Amino acid sequence: MAHFIDRRLNSKGKSTVNRQRFIRRYKQQIKEAVSDSISKRSVTDVDSGEEVSIPTRDISEPVFHTGKGGRREQVHPGNDQFTTGDRIKRPPGGGGKGGAGEGDASNEGEGQDEFVFEISKDEYLDLLFEELELPNLQKNQLDKLVQYETYRAGYQTDGVPANLDIVRSLKGSLARRIALTSGKKKRLKALEAELAELKADKHDHQLRIIELEKEIAELKKAIARVPFIDTFDLRFRNYEKRPKPTSKAVMFCLMDVSGSMDQATKDIAKRFYILLYLFLTRTYKNVEVVYIRHHTQAKEVDEQEFFYSQETGGTIVSSALKLMDEIVRDRYDAKEWNIYAAQASDGDNWADDSPLCSDLLLQRILPAVRYYAYIEITERQHQSLWREYQKIAEVRDHFAIKHIQSVEDIYPVFRELFRKNVARPQGVA
Amino acid sequence: MAVSPPKRKRGVKPLSDGPDWSFELLEQYETEIDRVAKHYGLDIYPNQIEIITAEQMMDAYASVGMPINYSHWSYGKKFISTEQHYRRGQMGLAYEIVINSDPCISYLMEENTITMQALVMAHACYGHNSFFKGNYLFQTWTDASSIIDYLVFAKNYVAKCEQRYGITEVENILDSCHALMNYGVDRYKRPQKISIQEEKERQKERENYLQSQVNELWRTVPKGEQGKLPQERRFPQEPQENILYFIEKSAPLLEPWQRELVRIVRKVSQYFYPQKQTQVMNEGWACFWHYHILNHLYDEGKVTDRFIMEFLTSHTGVVLQPEYNSPYYSGINPYALGFNMFMDIKRICTDPTDEDKEWFPEFAGSDWLETVHFAMKNFKDESFISQFLSPRMMREFKFFAIEDDERENFLTVSAIHNESGYRNIREKLSAQYNLSNLEPNIQVYNADIRGDRSLTLRYIPQNSIPLAKSSKEVIKHLHRLWGFPVILEVDEDNNVPYVLERCPAE
């Protein structure tokens, strides 16, 4: 008599809405946890969600319940040593094991435990980059289009035979034939019925019959004259091309590895790169990363070497810019690639080199890139490089410079650089 | 209602013992279980058995076990934490969830073996199901045939409100209602039965009517005859225990849709009220019957040795009661207590000792089937324990009572399982399941409708147990619903009531 139902194939995620509600409600706390977490990641490690923890007290749902104190009695099983009247030292942690047995008394608790849970990669990135956008994306997107994709766009009445849509054409033909012949057919039917009637009649209707037969013949001819298919029945599939923004992006990481950059400074730079990389993966399907480090000479290296190898020497920033320019001309055609660059330095540059950097940027690099961010990680005074860059930032809006002093500045600075719809303050840290 | 014990039959072909199950096999088992259940006179709602996956089980967990419910972040929180615990292996999922509805919906987990499925069917689809249908609390307080309809209505209504008034607005009201959910229960008045269509129509009427009433209520234009009004008369005249009901009917500033939300939460709370009061009995009854039904099938030769061994392993695990000093101890296991009590009732009927005859003269030696049915139908945990807990059970469980008085720096063993302690223990254990002891007694005492419109609640402590700090937050929620100041007073014996919380704070 029971009725069995297999629900296993029902759609999953019935609780998705509730989960989203939860995240929506605790966005602020989750966001904090998220921005704390970015420092732990490797630059290209984005294929994972993030474990987020928020304090339980923030998400508790208060109800009336009894607190500690008063007089309680509780029955326990398994007596092995007690007799009536025994006195027991009060166990640490308060009176009477957990309130009043089952029920609502103690399920809330006032513990300070963290509520830990995992958010997916998408949720993580959504939160991390909420309200941020890639600057100049809209403006620059269309002038660099090279790829087109063809897509179906309805039908047209003219075209090459290969694009002829037979079904559609025949539909047209059928409709036309019905429209042109239905009146005549109806008449024909009526006449034929009359004819049959007259013929069946015993009386003589010879004259009328001849008349009718003539009319029927004419109608049949008229019907037959309507062509089965006509040129204006033909329908051809129409194709149009639309520009397709390229989904390839490359991110240049430029970093000063001269003696003045210590591991802590590099770490700060690294975190900034991670953010930028994550952010780019939101917009572009494939993001390549080119690491260029430099002291007096620039060199393209892999991630490990970029962040961890030790080197010393003076600083000539233009060497890195030159190398970047070469790599761009060589491998990343600005027409096909969306180029982003982030440069980190402690601002220490050979004074004569700074104007050269400025020239290189203005003439060669900036026209090719979508966005160029320079962060200066230092606690000292700004030097010539900063001042040169400041001038550029005033005239180029896809060039931004920021000053970072410590780890805590990174995320705010990043947010400031990519804030949505707000005129970015330029050249001021 | 006397039944013959199963006869061991020769040459009966046992049902396949899997371990994998198939729908045909499930049906075969269900038919057999049904036959045995009828033999023992179990009266049930028709069964609707649904097979679900682990993830769907977690979904069901999250929405308080209901197949459908309105959206709320707290269900999301529940889902996330369940999922986390399950993924890390910190908890297993229940083998089944059963819903008090007509037809009675049971969820079976996909990964159960056929033995487990049979166990679960006997347990949920016959045990719990017959309990839902037979127990007086469920008969009085819940309407199995309309609950699903009502939840559909609630879900749609909440969704509609979210569209119209915004998610945050709706969430605020629901949060506040959830905080007071335990106080949305009528303990004495019987709720009415209505279907979804009527519910919709009546919702409209109610909306209009209520609003007009409220406006009437607050018509406070002074007419110069204030002196005639009996000032000391309170509103409400009697203290109200159903705070949400009071809010729904009398809160001055709520919009009609907000009242309806209050009502929805209240209704759901009311629906679950009997379950809270019959946990021991309900689980005990279900365990008692899965134990009997499957053993009956085994005695008939319908199930194999392997089947019954696997069954007994699970069964023993379920009804295990760890002792107070065991690391696994977390209070009294309702399954263990309930199961053993029903078994004990059966024993007292079939094989009474002199002690039983002295303690239970009314049913010792009577027909066991009739007696367990009587017990199932007419009691809740509290009264069930105080009526049926036998000295033998107390000895077997080695019960002892601990008194914890905050004024002393030690605990006292107030009673143990001996001649002088039996009645004492039984009384204390029974009180432990008395909901009015578990939930603080807080009632609406006065609404100052002629003054500042403040609402006064009174907490009447029992055994001088204070309220937890959370009450401050709850009062804030109540303030949101009431719209005017809310005061929580404590009314302790022999003392003048004093103010515990006030919102907004002075």
Q: Is the pLDDT of residue A422 over 60?
A: no
CB proximity under 8 Å: A 84-113 to B: 84-91, 95-98, 100-105, 108, 110
| pLDDT interval class at A150 (50, 70, 90) | confident
Helices (H), A232-302: 263-283
pLDDT at B407: 85
| pLDDT interval class at A112 (50, 70, 90) | very low
Q: Is the pLDDT of residue A107 over 50?
A: no
Q: Is the pLDDT of residue A104 over 70?
A: no
| pLDDT interval class at B386 (50, 70, 90) | very high
Lowest mean pLDDT among A291-300, B34-43, B306-315: A291-300
Q: What is the ipTM of this complex?
A: 0.82
User: Cβ distance A238 to A278 under 8 Å?
Assistant: no
Distance CA B250, CA B444 (A): 11
Most confident of A49-53, A205-209, A257-261, B266-270: B266-270
Give the residue from A424, A368, A396, A423 showing the smallest Cα distance to A143: A368
The two structure tokens encoding residue A278: 């994550």
| pLDDT interval class at A34 (50, 70, 90) | confident
Provide the 3-class DSSP secondary structure of residue A11: coil
> At what angle are helices B279-299 and B305-318 packed, to 10 degrees?
160
Distance CA A301, CA B373 (A): 81
CB-based contact, B262 to chain A, within 8 Å: no
User: Cβ distance A219 to A188 under 8 Å?
Assistant: yes
Contact A90 B404 (CB under 8 A): yes
CATH code for the structural domain at A245-417:
3.40.50.410
Each residue of B440-456: pLDDT tens digit? 889 999 888 888 889 99
Strand partners of residue B455: B447, B486
Q: Is the pLDDT of residue B367 over 60?
A: yes
Cα A402–Cα A406–Cα A410 angle in degrees, nearest 5: 50
The two structure tokens encoding residue A62: 């208060």
Cis peptide before B19 (omega within 30 of 0): yes
pLDDT at A45: 58
Please report, rounded to a whole number, the percentage of residues in chain A having pLDDT higher than 90: 7
Give the residue from B71, B76, B43, B33 showing the smallest Cα distance to B58: B76
Angstroms from B227 CA to nearest CA on chain A: 39
Each residue of A189-198: pLDDT tens digit? 999 898 888 8
For every residue of B267-295, DSSP letters joined together read HHHHHHHHHHHTHHHHHHHHHHHHHHHHH
Q: Please tell me the pTM assigned to this model.
A: 0.71
Choose the mutation target among B22, B25, B386, B404 for the interface with A, i.e. most A CBs under 10 Å.
Answer: B404
pLDDT at B30: 93
Mean pLDDT score of chain B, rounded to an integer?
Answer: 87
Angstroms from A393 CA to nearest CA on chain B: 42
Contact B56 A12 (CB under 8 A): yes
Please report, rounded to a whole number, the percentage of residues in chain B having pLDDT higher than 70: 91
Each residue of A240-282: pLDDT tens digit? 887 766 667 788 888 888 777 777 777 788 778 877 777 777 7
Contact A4 B49 (CB under 8 A): yes
Q: Is the pLDDT of residue A98 over 50?
A: no
Candidate from B51, B75, B182 with C-beta closest to A7: B51
Contact B468 A65 (CB under 8 A): yes
Distance CA B241, CA B441 (A): 8
pLDDT at B189: 64
Q: Is the pLDDT of residue A299 over 50?
A: yes
| pLDDT interval class at A109 (50, 70, 90) | very low
CB-based contact, A81 to chain B, within 8 Å: no
pLDDT at A402: 85
Each residue of B149-198: pLDDT tens digit? 999 999 999 999 999 999 999 999 999 999 999 998 887 666 555 567 77
pLDDT at A111: 41
